[in-house]
Amino acid sequence: MVSGYEHGYRGGRDATTGTIVPAMNDRPETGSRADRQARLRSWLEGLEAIERPSASPGELRAARWIADRLSERGLESRVEVEAAHGTYWWPLGIGAGLGAAAGLASLARKPLLAGLLGATGLAAIARDFPPHGRPLRKALPAHDTYNVVCEVGDPDALNTVVLVAHHDAANSGLVFHPGIPDLVSKTGLFRHLDTSPMLMAPVLGGPAMAILAALTGSRALGAGSILLSAGSVGAMADVGLRGVVPGANDNGTAVVGLLELAGRFLAEPPDSTRIILLSTGSEESFSEGMLAFGKRHFPHLPRDRTFFINMDTIGSPYLTVLRGEGFLKMYDYPADALALADRTAEEIGVELFPNLRIRNGTDGLEALAAGYPVVSICSCTEHKQPANYHWPNDLSGNVDFETVGEALDLVEAMVRRLDSDWDGALGRS
């Protein structure tokens, strides 16, 4: 395992300004809407053909594929190699297993042992959720993960916009079965929810119930904690044993979006803003690639002069800008960043699905918790869920490229506004 640079791809730099530029005959043209969609579809079909679980050789192939596409456009990029565990089912499964053991201890009338096991399991799970430090992973096997980093514009510019996607793909699992949201929708529950359900609640619930059993002596709670924890262990094992999905919507759409935006900003470079194009690895294992990027780069990115735009799963029917996210604590996105996104969307005629929060985590959560102005641009179905989420039908043929195009237009317009008047765009003037 190596922490450093896997390799680099060289483009050109203007000798006077240092700005990265391609040769004139390599400058990409945006073309018509049909041309853009065909280009995005072609790229997406290439990416989805790569089986790319987190922190795997396939993820490296995907990272090199992205770097190659950028190199074809004359852009210099690098692949940064970082350490990651590469799963979430092992840490959560271990925590749930401790919950089951705590329930058994409670039934055996060993309340101190039950309480200790339950508290350890609950803490292991809770601390594994981003943006926490994931301490249990330090005891688990580690692998290499691969972040692709590319810069456009003046490297010495005062302001920086970081555009984020991730190129790893998720494992499937019964917990992601598309019939579940379809069934829930028949109850009318989705019409009244602006925050997605907490998928990980049962995983936390087992150890928590065991603690209550230890405190109260309740055999019913003890038995319930065993059932709930055992079910969670089974669910995590099911995810771990299943194959990786094609990952077209989640998150190939954002990756090919980065490639498209690279072309736009090369054709018309920003005047006074550096743009970092970042495609992370190991997002599906709870943003380990983004966590590593932060450790390496956040100390050099001033919070008042850096803006993050995270794109995740932007190929569902309805575009949205998340109002907040978080597995346990809800982290609300900054009002000034949301105002910029909302105002820009209105000005360019992009309609946003309103007021959504998720009890989950994207790569935007790491930058958000670190105090940066950031937005996460996502998409959803009428059930307020990503289309084909973590399921084998997450294919390019099921992607809504109109929504992808709207997302890219919104991102570009936000960057242009920040470039023209950074403080004014964020309501600071």
* pLDDT tens per residue, range 109-151: 999 999 999 999 999 999 999 999 999 999 999 999 999 999 9
Q: What is the pLDDT of residue 195?
A: 79
Domain 4-84+142-179+244-425 belongs in CATH node 2.30.30.180: no
DSSP state of 384: S
* Contacts with 173 (C-beta within 8 Å, 6 or more apart), sequence order: 235, 238, 239, 242, 390
* Contacts with 225 (C-beta within 8 Å, 6 or more apart), sequence order: 99, 100, 102, 103, 106, 118, 206, 207, 208, 209, 210, 212, 213
Any idea where the domains of the chain sit in the sequence? 4-84+142-179+244-425, 89-138+196-241
The label of the residue with tokens 């765009």 reads 425
Q: What is the pLDDT of residue 185?
A: 72
Strand-pair partners of 4 = 81
* pLDDT tens per residue, range 217-239: 999 999 999 999 999 999 999 99
pLDDT confidence bin for 33, thresholds 50/70/90:
confident
pLDDT confidence bin for 196, thresholds 50/70/90:
confident
Q: What is the pLDDT of residue 182?
A: 78
pLDDT confidence bin for 4, thresholds 50/70/90:
low
Q: What is the pLDDT of residue 192?
A: 67
Distance of CA 41 to the CA centre of its chain: 21
Q: What is the pLDDT of residue 29?
A: 47
* pLDDT at residue 290 greater than cutoff 70: yes
Mean pLDDT of 46-60: 98
Environment class of residue 305 by beta-carbon count within 10 Å: exposed (0-12), middle (13-18) or buried (19+)?
middle
Q: What is the pTM of this model?
A: 0.91
Mean pLDDT of 279-299: 98
Write the DSSP string, 353-382: B-S-EESS--THHHHHHTT--EEEEEEE-T
> What is the share, in percent, of the chain residues with pLDDT greater than 90?
84
Q: What is the pLDDT of residue 369?
A: 96
* pLDDT at residue 10 greater than cutoff 80: no
* pLDDT at residue 245 greater than cutoff 90: yes
> Maximum Cα–Cα distance for the chain, whole Å?
77
* pLDDT tens per residue, range 367-397: 999 999 999 999 999 889 899 999 999 999 9
d(CA 150, CA 263): 12
* pLDDT tens per residue, range 68-121: 999 998 899 999 999 999 999 999 999 999 999 999 999 999 999 999 999 999
Nearest to 27 by CA among 390, 269, 253: 269
pLDDT confidence bin for 252, thresholds 50/70/90:
very high
d(CA 193, CA 188): 9
pLDDT confidence bin for 181, thresholds 50/70/90:
confident
Q: What is the pLDDT of residue 315?
A: 98
